[in-house]
């Protein structure tokens, strides 16, 4: 299905959430990161401000800041309402204590992204591209991150997951994916399949507990390490 603005619900997380979801504290300072499906998250803006290297790719970047802002405005209350109706499925703590705070945190993250976006596009930090095929040369990145896309959306299917993982491992030495649960909080059936696929190809795979949990039970990432690489 072609990517259109109508079939995306822009919802972006903060730098702090990315650092915890992917346990980025211990990453080497010169690590070249790819953020795949970063959408309107504040990660690229914040990570760049910290003097670190990051390229984000997402089909959302086919659109202008004004178009993305319009889609955020159209979806924002609907997403908050859906979360309100499923409050029991989330961990409310001092960082995000209730629905109102969630709205503020997400809105602030997306505004940070929108402010950075035009400049980041010029600098090549935001690249319009979509899985399962990525337009980057082999091994351009040390680590590729994928937050809240693969595994979360079961409807993407097995073949899409297989091809996406192959692309991510082509462009990066290591791939980290979070979460391992689907939207309905059930474990994704594709995690085992992906582990089998990468191990068969001689790479390594491990599930790592991380210091982040918002969707209840989603506190692990999958780390894939390309054979013959071991940095970061
Ligand atoms: C739920 S959002 C997650 C945004 C961000 N990663 C975060 O965690 O805050 C899912 C993102 O996947 C992007 N997306 C949709 N189809 C994609 C594809 N084929 N390849 C890469 N990203 C895609 C959407 O545009 C959207 O920005």
- Confidence at residue 1, expressed as pLDDT on a 0 to 100 scale: 66
Strands 141-147 and 172-178: parallel
User: Which atom in ligand 1 lies closest to the alpha carbon of residue 38?
Assistant: 6
Cα–Cα–Cα angle for 215, 219, 224, rounded to 5 degrees: 125
- Confidence at residue 232, expressed as pLDDT on a 0 to 100 scale: 64
CA distance 24 to 34: 13
pLDDT of 7 strictly over 90: no
Tokens representing 201 are 């190809």
CA distance 136 to 138: 7
pLDDT digits (tens, 9 = 90+) for 131-140: 999 999 999 9
* Test site for ligand 1: of 58, 160, 171, 177, most ligand atoms within 8 A of the Cβ: 58
CA distance 145 to 218: 16
- Confidence at residue 25, expressed as pLDDT on a 0 to 100 scale: 94
pLDDT digits (tens, 9 = 90+) for 139-174: 999 999 999 999 999 999 999 999 999 999 999 999
Strands 126-127 and 53-57: parallel
Cα-to-centroid distance, 11 and ligand 1 (Å): 9
Per-residue pLDDT band at 4 (split at 50, 70, 90): confident
pLDDT of 113 strictly over 70: yes
CA distance 128 to 190: 26
| 8 A C-beta contact, residue 84 and residue 18 | no
Q: What is the mean pLDDT of the chain?
A: 96
pLDDT of 230 strictly over 80: no
Tokens representing 65 are 């800041």
Q: Which residues line ligand 1 (CB under 6 A)?
A: 3, 8, 11-13, 36-39, 41, 58-60, 130-131, 147-149
* Test site for ligand 1: of 14, 37, 144, most ligand atoms within 8 A of the Cβ: 37
Cα-to-centroid distance, 109 and ligand 1 (Å): 15
Domain boundaries of the chain, sorted by first residue: 5-225
pLDDT digits (tens, 9 = 90+) for 23-63: 999 999 999 999 999 999 999 999 999 999 999 999 999 99
User: What one-character-per-residue DSSP string does 50-118 give?
Assistant: TT-EEEEE-GGGGS-HHHHHHHHHHHHHHHHHHHHHTGGGB---SSS-SHHHHHHHHHHHHHHHHHHHH
Distance of CA 192 to the CA centre of its chain: 20
pLDDT of 231 strictly over 60: no
The CATH-assigned architecture of domain 5-225 is 3-Layer(aba) Sandwich (3.40)
- The residue nearest atom 5 of ligand 1, judged by CA position, is 38
């Amino acid at each position: 299905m072609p990517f259109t603005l109508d079939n995306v619900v822009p919802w972006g997380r903060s730098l702090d959430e990315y650092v915890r979801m992917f346990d980025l504290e211990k990453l080497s300072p010169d690590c070249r990161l790819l953020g795949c499906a970063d959408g309107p998250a504040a990660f690229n803006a914040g990570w760049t401000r910290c003097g670190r290297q990051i390229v984000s790719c997402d089909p959302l970047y086919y659109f202008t800041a004004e178009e993305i802002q319009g889609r955020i405005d159209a979806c924002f209350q609907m997403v908050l309402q859906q979360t309100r109706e499923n409050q029991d499925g989330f961990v409310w703590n001092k960082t995000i204590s209730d629905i109102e705070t969630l709205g503020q945190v997400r809105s602030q993250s997306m505004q940070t992204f929108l402010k950075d976006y035009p400049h980041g596009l010029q600098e090549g930090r935001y690249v319009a591209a979509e899985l399962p095929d990525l337009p980057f040369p082999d091994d351009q990145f040390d680590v590729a991150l994928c937050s809240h896309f693969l595994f979360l959306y079961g409807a993407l299917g097995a073949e899409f997951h297989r091809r996406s993982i192959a692309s991510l491992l082509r462009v990066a030495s290591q791939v980290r994916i979070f979460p391992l649960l689907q939207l309905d909080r059930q474990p994704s059936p594709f995690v085992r399949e992906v582990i089998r696929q990468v191990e068969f190809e001689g790479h390594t795979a491990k599930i790592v507990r991380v210091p982040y949990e918002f969707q209840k039970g989603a506190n692990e990432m999958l780390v894939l390490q390309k054979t013959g690489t071991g940095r970061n």
